[in-house]
Amino acid sequence: MTIKINEELRAYIDPLTEDEYTALERSLLAEGCRDALVLWGDLLVDGHNRYSICQKHGIPFNTIQNTTFKSMDDVHLWMIDNHLGRRSVSDFQRGVLALRKKEILATRLAELESQAEKAVEPSEADQSAAQPAGAEAPARPTAPPISREALARAARVSSATLGQIEKIQKTAAPELVSAVKSGVISINAAAAVASLPSEKQVAAVAGGKKELQQLAREVRESKRPPKPEPVPPPADATPDQLEIHRLNQLVAELTEERDQLKKKVQHLTIALAEARRQET
């Protein structure tokens, strides 16, 4: 049968790296194509890389039809869920896919609510006859908004990480996005750098990993609230009052230092978890 390739569909999921493509090619040459390619009619939905390698080397393959698709949105949602279930997908890719799913579901929800309103909306004459003068029209029930927490759980990332990925998508320069995808900079650090003008982002990426990390630290430092000016002790304070004042200041300084260390530990924990996920 003829298999059609939709270039938009092929590019919907991030392409394999050169090393990943080479590894897949070696596997297909050694073991054959064990997993069937997924089709919707004659349109290839899943298995673009396997299909091209099989065509190149004359490797036999099987196909399977997915009869549940009713629209291209159904195809996109299936592709998203399929890739979210794979261990090799990075946290950043998972977040991007989850946000795409959110957009599709939000659009569908808005369309369904619009259709429901049109279906039950009475004519002006009927409405005036059925409703007493001065009475307010009953509020139409609306579906609950899509939960970021639910999307984050599906993507196996934290809600905070998903928010950072959304910020990167909206404000990061393409060079910074590429740096996140390649693991040069963590999601957390990239979200901080993404708040800067595009030219500064590009310059930092050109400067390499250390410059990106340093810039991220500077951005975080700049967003911290200024320390309050210490209140001097009363002019007529007794020695005991002076000592209490000194100890209170010391406690405040140590508390601030502890809070900063907690934030650093949190950033390092997130970065370490991302690195470990990418290794597996």
Q: What is the pLDDT of residues 132-166, one digit of tens each?
A: 555 555 555 455 567 788 888 888 888 889 999 99
Task: Give the pLDDT of residue 141.
Answer: 47
Task: Give the pLDDT of residue 135.
Answer: 52
Cβ-based neighbours of 90, under 8 Å, separated by 6 or more: 181, 183, 274, 277, 278
pTM: 0.69
Residue 128, amino acid: S
Dig out the tokens for 42 from the structure. Answer: 């004659």
Q: What's the CA gap between 159 and 12, in Å, rounded?
A: 23
Asked if 144 contacts 113 with a C-beta cutoff of 8 angstroms, the reply is: no
**pLDDT beneath 50: ranges in the chain:** 141
Task: Give the pLDDT of residue 180.
Answer: 93
Q: Strand order of the sheet with strand 37-40?
A: 43-46, 37-40, 63-65
Distances (CA, A) of 55 to 25, 33, 37, 45: 11, 11, 13, 16
Dig out the tokens for 271 from the structure. Answer: 């970065």
Other residues' Cβ atoms within 10 Å of the Cβ of residue 261: 10
